[in-house]
């Protein structure tokens, strides 16, 4: 019979403790002396210079990426992401020792290029999307060709080339070692394995140390992945990218294994949701025709702006003053930009967390505005002068309930009527009028979406926008030689200045279109709706010039100057508002002619318009703005949110107070939980096709009741 060993708790006395401390101290001192005497550090560096260069280059590039993208002291002083990046690079680099010296050089060059590509792609991507890249977007690379100019002219910057220096250094170090005979060095297999093992252990120890420093909040957000800036700021770019690969595969895995939990959460979310209440605007537009303009990159900040007493957007200014104008309105796009707006506008769901709904989840069941109106007897259609397969619109528009999609092949497009990415807005609207006249002849109420194209980044076809100066004619500058007055350049030559020229053209085209609608009787019994699909993604420095330009001296004011306007990152985010306008020719002076200042998002449009047009979607994530009013919250795909009171940045865990009122932690915590739940439920609906599953369950229950 085995006897249990008794545990012996031996207590050390003071003398023994001192002995062990002295022994450890002596060992440490002797080790350091040996390191110094034998020049072990110098020897290690000399023998492993290629590996060390590989690690240093990778760390410098990843740190440079964070510094170039996220401009906060928290990020600048963060040590965790550096530790994480070092551990990943050491672990990957350790396997290089398994190769013979002549092949080791190739290994480190290949992986140096790989890690550099990660940094470079994310740097370019961040400039345009203010977020980090995802492999789930690989399916969208087919669309890059059509917007190539936008990438090269408006997104790619010289800083993005700095990352290339890294692998060049690795190559130069490798070539120098080769000249010294490094590639001919003979290492037995056992020695290579030993080096690889020790290096791998070192990398794993650093990874463990890094993991120990993480909080439960950081681990939780890492698992969810939707707050990408936060993850890069705390985990580094390399761990983020690896996690992104896993997260991108997760929808495929979840669709097989996570359905039950997703359906349970979905039912709980909508179980207690009250139907939208009726209000003074209920059914006011029921039975009317509807023409919707999807305004490419139209921002609210263009409205009301003048240069030399000439309005940038006279048409939009008139519509906003005569109609129902929602002046605190935000699009809620992710990487799918225009397609995300179309999706959210039509379904009141958020964009997909991985990929885009239009491309990655086109075969799901959605409750959409065109389908609801189609069920009410409307003829529904969409018009766009671009390729029908761009953003997979050909397939997705049919899924959303459009009877017909009038795409590029139905328009006459030539070199003379092309601006930027394709057919000019003026030609597009002119040809669309003829199509609308035939649609009217059908004798049915119609609902149509017209997607504009001209006002698309990079806003470089300036000579085609027509005459519109963005300088200041009488700013106070004089020619030094002649003494004559000369214009102050102001926004001339800037991207924002070119944007204003482009918007002016788009606004002029819109004005001509509205006039043609009225001349052809197409505005009779018709509601005209316009929204901006997203902001113009313009550089912050141009806005600083716009708000702080001194025309008399042709300089930019500083914080010390009188009249200086602070335009920081929060102002930049809040400046991304887009217009949302509902207008009819006879609306001016009625109860509908008003400005709505309550914060509103794209997902609130469907419930708001649905109430006016006589339909409702019980699975909408947004609200009728006239019911929720001041209590509304607009959630963005990255986890940020805005209310009438404040804008919250979830990446930084900071907020910008909009009313200068006291903000409680409970208020922020409540809205954070709401935002997280909404984003997760929306993504579950898309990934697991829950609306289709729920409809099938409802039909089964209904048939059972009939029996």
Q: Per DSSP, what are the bridge partners of residue 11? A: none
What is the number of structural domains in the chain? Answer: 2
Contacts (Cβ under 8 Å, ≥6 apart) of 455 = 295, 296, 297, 298, 425, 502, 503, 505, 506, 536
Cis bond before residue 285 (omega within 30° of 0):
no
Same-domain pairing of 462 and 517:
yes
3-state secondary structure of 238: helix
Flag whether 265 is in a domain: no
Same-domain pairing of 154 and 294:
no
Two structure tokens written together for 280: 């003074």
pLDDT of the residue at 117? 93
pLDDT of the residue at 17? 64
Flag whether 18 is in a domain: no
Same-domain pairing of 434 and 517:
yes
Flag whether 8 is in a domain: no
Flag whether 707 is in a domain: no
Same-domain pairing of 246 and 325:
no
Same-domain pairing of 491 and 413:
yes
**Measured distance CA(301)–CA(310) in Å, rounded:** 15
Question: What is the CATH number for 476?
Answer: 3.40.720.10
pLDDT of the residue at 4? 40
Three-state SS letters, 77-100? CCCHHHHHHHHHHHHHHHHHHHCC
How many residues in the chain? Answer: 707
Placement of tokens 């239009």 in the chain: 358
Contacts (Cβ under 8 Å, ≥6 apart) of 213 = 80, 83
pLDDT of the residue at 130? 67
Instruction: Give the range of the structural domain holding residue 102, as residue numbers without chain letter.
Output: 25-257
Q: What angle do CA 613, 448, 318 make, to 5 degrees?
A: 80
pLDDT of the residue at 23? 65
Flag whether 232 is in a domain: yes
Same-domain pairing of 119 and 176:
yes
Q: Per DSSP, what are the bridge partners of residue 601? A: 330
User: Inter-axis angle of helices 49-69 and 40-47, to 10 degrees?
Assistant: 80
pLDDT of the residue at 11? 53
**Measured distance CA(163)–CA(65) in Å, rounded:** 9
3-state secondary structure of 149: helix
594 φ, ψ (degrees, to nearest 5): -155, 160
> 207, 223, 257: which is the final residue of a domain?
257
Same-domain pairing of 231 and 307:
no
pLDDT along the chain (707 residues), means of 10: 42 62 62 51 77 94 91 84 95 92 89 94 79 67 49 64 93 87 71 90 94 84 71 91 78 68 94 90 97 97 96 98 98 92 98 87 95 98 92 93 96 94 96 98 97 94 96 90 92 96 98 98 98 93 96 94 93 96 97 97 98 97 97 96 95 89 93 96 94 90 66
pLDDT of the residue at 22? 65
**Measured distance CA(53)–CA(166) in Å, rounded:** 9
Chain Cα centroid distance, residue 487: 38
**Measured distance CA(546)–CA(552) in Å, rounded:** 14
pLDDT of the residue at 27? 62
Same-domain pairing of 289 and 253:
no
657 φ, ψ (degrees, to nearest 5): -75, 125
User: Inter-axis angle of helices 101-129 and 228-257, to 10 degrees?
Assistant: 100
**Measured distance CA(342)–CA(366) in Å, rounded:** 13
Flag whether 14 is in a domain: no
Same-domain pairing of 300 and 373:
yes
Same-domain pairing of 229 and 305:
no
Two structure tokens written together for 428: 């597009």
Same-domain pairing of 334 and 437:
yes
10 Å CB burial of residue 216 (0-12, 13-18, 19+) is exposed
């Amino acid at each position: 019979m085995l006897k249990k060993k008794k545990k012996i708790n031996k207590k050390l006395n003071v003398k023994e403790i001192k002995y062990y401390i002295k022994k450890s101290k002596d060992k440490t001192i002797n080790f350091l002396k040996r390191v110094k005497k034998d020049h072990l550090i110098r020897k290690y560096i000399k023998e492993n210079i290629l590996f060390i260069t590989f690690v240093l280059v990778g760390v410098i590039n990843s740190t440079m990426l964070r510094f170039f993208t996220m401009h906060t002291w928290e990020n600048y002083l963060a040590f965790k992401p550096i530790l994480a990046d070092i551990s990943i690079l050491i672990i990957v680099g350790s396997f290089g020792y398994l190769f013979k010296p002549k092949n080791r050089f190739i290994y480190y060059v290949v992986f140096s290029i790989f890690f550099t590509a990660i940094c470079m792609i994310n740097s370019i991507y961040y400039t345009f999307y203010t977020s980090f890249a995802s492999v789930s977007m690989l399916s969208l690379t087919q669309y890059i060709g059509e917007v190539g100019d936008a990438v090269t002219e408006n997104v790619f910057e010289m800083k993005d080339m700095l990352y290339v220096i890294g692998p060049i250094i690795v190559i130069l170090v490798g070539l120098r070692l080769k000249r010294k005979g490094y590639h001919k060095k003979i290492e037995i297999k056992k020695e290579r394995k030993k080096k690889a093992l020790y290096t791998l252990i070192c990398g794993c120890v650093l990874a463990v140390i890094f993991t120990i420093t993480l909080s439960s909040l950081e681990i939780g957000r890492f698992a969810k992945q939707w707050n990408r800036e936060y993850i890069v700021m705390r985990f580094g770019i390399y761990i983020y990218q690896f996690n992104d690969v896993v997260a991108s595969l997760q929808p495929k895995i979840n669709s097989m294994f996570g359905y039950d939990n997703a359906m349970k959460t979905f039912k709980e979310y909508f179980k207690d949701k009250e139907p939208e209440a009726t209000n003074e605007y209920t059914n006011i537009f029921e039975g009317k025709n509807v023409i919707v303009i999807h305004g490419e990159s139209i921002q609210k900040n263009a409205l009301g702006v003048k240069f030399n007493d000439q309005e940038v957007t006279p048409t939009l200014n008139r519509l906003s003053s005569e109609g129902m104008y929602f002046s605190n309105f935000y699009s809620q796009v992710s990487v799918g930009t225009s397609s995300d707006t179309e999706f959210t506008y039509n379904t009141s769901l958020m964009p997909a967390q991985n990929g885009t709904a239009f491309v990655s989840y086109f075969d799901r069941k959605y409750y959409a505005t065109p389908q609801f109106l189609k069920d009410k007897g409307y003829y529904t259609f969409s018009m766009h002068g671009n390729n029908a397969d761009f953003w997979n619109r050909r397939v997705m528009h049919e899924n959303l309930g459009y009877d017909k999609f009038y795409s590029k092949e139905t328009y006459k497009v030539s070199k003379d009527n092309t601006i930027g990415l394709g057919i000019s807005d003026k030609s597009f609207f002119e040809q669309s009028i003829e199509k609308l006249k035939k649609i009217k002849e059908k004798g049915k109420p119609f609902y149509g979406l017209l997607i504009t194209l001209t006002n698309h980044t990079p806003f470089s076809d300036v000579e085609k926008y027509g005459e519109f100066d963005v300088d200041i004619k009488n700013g106070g500058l004089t020619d030094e030689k002649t003494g004559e007055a000369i214009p102050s350049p102001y926004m001339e030559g800037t991207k924002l200045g070119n944007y204003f020229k482009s918007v002016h053209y788009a606004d002029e085209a819109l004005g001509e279109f509205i006039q043609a609608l009225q001349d052809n009787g197409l505005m009779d019994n018709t509601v005209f709706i316009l929204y901006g699909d997203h902001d113009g993604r313009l550089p912050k420095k141009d806005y600083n010039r716009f708000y702080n330009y001194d025309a008399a001296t042709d300089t930019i004011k500083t914080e010390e100057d009188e009249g200086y306007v602070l335009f920081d990152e929060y102002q930049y985010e809040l400046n991304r508002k887009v217009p949302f306008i509902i207008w009819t020719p006879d609306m001016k002076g009625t109860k509908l002619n008003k400005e709505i200042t309550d914060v509103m998002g794209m997902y609130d449009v469907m419930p708001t318009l649905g109430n006016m047009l006589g339909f409702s979607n019980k699975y909408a994530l947004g609200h009728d703005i006239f019911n929720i009013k001041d209590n509304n919250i607009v959630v963005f795909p990255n986890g940020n949110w805005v209310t009438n009171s404040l804008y919250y940045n979830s990446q930084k865990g900071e907020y910008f107070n909009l009313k200068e009122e006291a903000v409680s932690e409970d208020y922020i915590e409540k809205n954070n939980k709401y935002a997280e739940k909404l984003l997760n439920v929306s993504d579950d609906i898309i990934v697991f096709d829950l609306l289709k599953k729920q409809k099938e369950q409802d039909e089964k229950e209904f048939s059972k009741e009939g029996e």
